Amino acid sequence: MTINQKTEKKFRSLAITLTTSFSILLIIVLVIASCLQMYFNFRAQQKLLSEYEHAIARDAANSVTGFIREKFNLLDAVSRRSNIVIMPVEEQKPLLEKLLGLEPAFRQLFLLNLQGDELLNVSRLSKLLSKELMEYDSHELLAYVRQNEKYTSSIYIDKVTNEPMMIMAVPITDVFKDMTGILIAETNLKFMWDLVSEMKIGKNGLAYVIDKQGNLIAFRDISRVLKRENLNHLNEVHNFSAEHIPIAENHVHISKGILNTTVLTTHIALDLPQWTVIIELPIIESYETVGTALILSALVIFISILAAIVFGSVISKRMIQPIVELRDATEKIGSGQLDLKTNIHSKNEIGELAASFNKMVDDLKRTTVTRDALMKEVNERKQIEKILKESEQKMKAILMASPIGIGLIINDRIEWANDSLFRMTGYENNSLLGQNTSILYSSDKEYERVSHDLYQNTTISDNGHIETQWIRNDGDIFDCILGACSLDPVDPSKGQIVTIVDISEMKRLQAKLLQAQKMEAIGTLAAGIAHDLNNILVGIVGYPEYLLLDMPVDDPLREPLQSIQTSGEKAATIVQDLLTLARRGVTNTEIVNLNTIISDYLKSPEYENLCSFHSRVRIITDLDSELLNIAGSPFHLSKTIMNLVSNAAESIRNEGEILISTQNQYLDMPVSGYDYVNKGEYVTLKITDSGEGISKDDMKKIFEPFYTKKKMGRSGTGLGMAVVWGTVKDHNGYIDLHSIEGKGTTFKLYFPASRKDIIRENTTLSIA
């Protein structure tokens, strides 16, 4: 190849490159020029549209302003007669009647003096209705007019004619511009309705008028005006209501219109009255010319781009087609088809590139494995990964769904836990991870014991279990059983899998069952003892009473017999408590109110004896006046109140007070305290004292029969609180107990509420 041939070859390649570059540059220039032309055309059309709608709005505003100004001009013409106020009525009346005849929009005319007193009234209505139909603020009117300003009231709908009315007033001044009176006109705005409804706003546009509060006062749909519809939800109305915008600041924008359609809208604000005229044009009609201009511009852009593409594609075809063939060949080789060669024989750089490509393919055949072998290995790896992932997901789902808490502990730190463990301990998801397990134990000593007995002696072949106490995030301690198993018996550092079962509820139910069994056994014993003692006490209580009937007052045997009788009655009270404890299951129930039972107890001899014995204890009541009724035994409930008040008084050594309160209470979720209270509607009885309080050890035994810390012989047999417990349970109720040693005790009893009414009034109960 000669030097001239090489030069010609390079020139040909350069020509193709330049031609292609020119085509691309031409497309870019045409697109930019067309876009600029479209933009400036759009802005020009938009400016013309804005000026057009402003002109329409100004014409509409001028029409409304002209209507109002015409009425004020007529009033001003009369008010300029400075002596009209001092004229005789015979001269005033024809003048006002003439004004009423000249302007059909005026329904009534009033002439007032400076104090606001009426001098003359000319009306198209009867005298009885003339003032009753007018709605305006007279103080506001006088304030405006006395400042030598014209006044317009708010629009109101006449109750007789159902037409919009407005009050207009002008000051009457003398030749020295001093105010001598006021001329008031009640104006019918129906004529302004007709004016607004007849306005021609483009082809399909409309106009309406609103006041400064955003109320519609003129529109072609009269029914909406009569409803005093407020349009503050429309952007254009809201702008006017929020701030009275001057005309110079008006602008045209797109928004929702009064007919709930998208419109191009603007408004012109009036100075007097403070109304605004709003003009709306349908968006399609408004932008019809703009749309035509945009379509023409888009057509020009499309034709320009199409011409540039055709011109560039014809010139660059010879260069692009070989490149496409090389690209397709490269993709096929990438997919493993190594028996492929290109058939490009151009005498330029692309031909040289094709020759190099064919040489590369020959080299790849000798050094690359086949595509099938590679794809087989890839598919096998993907299948194994899929099986492992599915297995991992199944195992994770099983662990997460387990109601038992499960966790992974490595080096005494929690590395993983399921939802049950988070829920059991009260920690949010992942907030427990990375923490030392010692934070879950109630004490360091307990943590060391469990770590030694469970974790350190556990291998993969044996499962250890131990009972302990954990502490929740909120500080609550609960009983649980822990199990552990090492992941690797040879290397304990790899961690242990632990399981946690919350047994606090089971232990609570077990303790409740033991308490019920104990009370049942004691009740059976008490029943036998009570019946035997009752037979013995018949003679001890009865015979002294018979002997005392005929015995003289000064008989020396009278006092011993009375002592025998008193002791017998005290023994009978103990027997009665035993019978109450033995006869579990109250069968004699009726609809009662706790307030009534408390009131009856406060009138009983037992209460009087308590007050005399504990004279320094003050008893206060706070009873809910709207308290609901309950179904129960008045005798047992009264006995319960008496025992709780008596115990409260006994706990106060010197001075103190006892509060007895009742309340309606609805629980939308169970409450766990001294007793587990289910959700429901309850009537509560609460007795609070300021006594010595109850220790934690005594609180566990307080409801057991015959358990007492009172002095023998003074009061108490150990049955009072057992009777309280039995009575509450027989009424399907619950007991909550709070006490702090040295600060007092609160008993709160929950009784299921009843919506039934009391059939008869309960009589005062006397507790023997």
pLDDT digits (tens, 9 = 90+) for 514-536: 777 776 666 666 666 666 676 67
The number of beta carbons lying within 10 Å of the beta carbon of residue 617 is: 22
- Nearby residues of 250 by Cβ (< 8 Å), 6 or more positions away: 54, 57, 266, 267, 268, 269
- Nearby residues of 602 by Cβ (< 8 Å), 6 or more positions away: 619, 621
The number of beta carbons lying within 10 Å of the beta carbon of residue 202 is: 16
For the chain of 768 residues, list the mean pLDDT of each consecutive stretch of 10.
48 54 71 73 70 77 84 84 79 86 87 84 70 75 84 84 86 81 88 77 80 82 81 77 50 78 81 80 73 71 71 61 69 67 68 73 66 74 84 74 84 86 83 85 87 62 73 87 83 83 84 73 65 68 74 80 72 64 59 94 89 91 94 88 91 90 92 83 95 82 68 56 83 90 92 86 42
The pLDDT of residue 681 is 95
| Cβ–Cβ under 8 Å, residues 43 and 175 | no
Cα dist. 743→239, 686, 689, 693, 746 in Å?
65, 16, 9, 6, 10
- Nearby residues of 246 by Cβ (< 8 Å), 6 or more positions away: 269
State how far the Cα of 294 lies from the Cα of 197, in Å rounded to an integer.
34
Closest CA to 631 of 683, 580, 668, 670: 683
Containing H/E element for 263? strand 262-269
pTM higher than 0.85, yes or no? Answer: no
Largest Cα–Cα separation, the chain = 167
The DSSP bridge pattern shows strands 680-689 and 656-667 to be antiparallel
The pLDDT of residue 578 is 62
Closest CA to 151 of 123, 125, 182, 119: 182
Backbone phi and psi for residue 585, each to the nearest 5 degrees, phi listed first: 95, 90
The pLDDT of residue 620 is 93
State how far the Cα of 334 lies from the Cα of 329, in Å rounded to an integer.
9
Residue 721, classed as helix, strand or coil, is helix
* 393: amino acid identity, one letter: Q
State how far the Cα of 222 lies from the Cα of 205, in Å rounded to an integer.
17
Supply the DSSP symbol for 230. Answer: B
Give CATH 3.30.450.20 domain extents, the chain: 402-502
The pLDDT of residue 685 is 96
Q: What class is the 503-584 domain?
A: mainly alpha
The pLDDT of residue 522 is 67
- Cβ burial of 452 (10 Å; 0-12, 13-18, 19+) is exposed
Closest CA to 454 of 494, 415, 422, 499: 499
**Helical axes 720-730 vs 504-549, angle rounded to 10°:** 120
Backbone phi and psi for residue 176, each to the nearest 5 degrees, phi listed first: -95, 10
State how far the Cα of 144 lies from the Cα of 147, in Å rounded to an integer.
5
The pLDDT of residue 462 is 45
The pLDDT of residue 225 is 82
State how far the Cα of 121 lies from the Cα of 463, in Å rounded to an integer.
108
Helices (H), 435-503: 444-450
Cα dist. 259→46, 221, 252, 284 in Å?
24, 11, 18, 15
The number of beta carbons lying within 10 Å of the beta carbon of residue 400 is: 12
Containing H/E element for 254? strand 253-256
741's tokens? 């040693």
Q: In terms of CATH, what superfamily is 402-502?
A: PAS domain (3.30.450.20)
Classify domain 587-754 by CATH architecture.
Answer: 2-Layer Sandwich (3.30)
* 288: amino acid identity, one letter: E
Give CATH 1.10.287.130 domain extents, the chain: 503-584
The pLDDT of residue 572 is 65
The number of beta carbons lying within 10 Å of the beta carbon of residue 639 is: 23
**Burial call 438-447: b when 16+ CB within 10 Å, e when fewer:** eebbeeeebb
The number of beta carbons lying within 10 Å of the beta carbon of residue 211 is: 21
Give CATH 3.30.565.10 domain extents, the chain: 587-754
Cα dist. 264→52, 280, 288 in Å?
12, 6, 12
| Cβ–Cβ under 8 Å, residues 733 and 752 | yes
| Cβ–Cβ under 8 Å, residues 533 and 525 | no
State how far the Cα of 294 lies from the Cα of 289, in Å rounded to an integer.
9
The pLDDT of residue 205 is 80
The DSSP bridge pattern shows strands 164-173 and 179-188 to be antiparallel
Phi-psi region of 177 (alpha: psi -120 to 50; beta: other; left: phi over 0): left
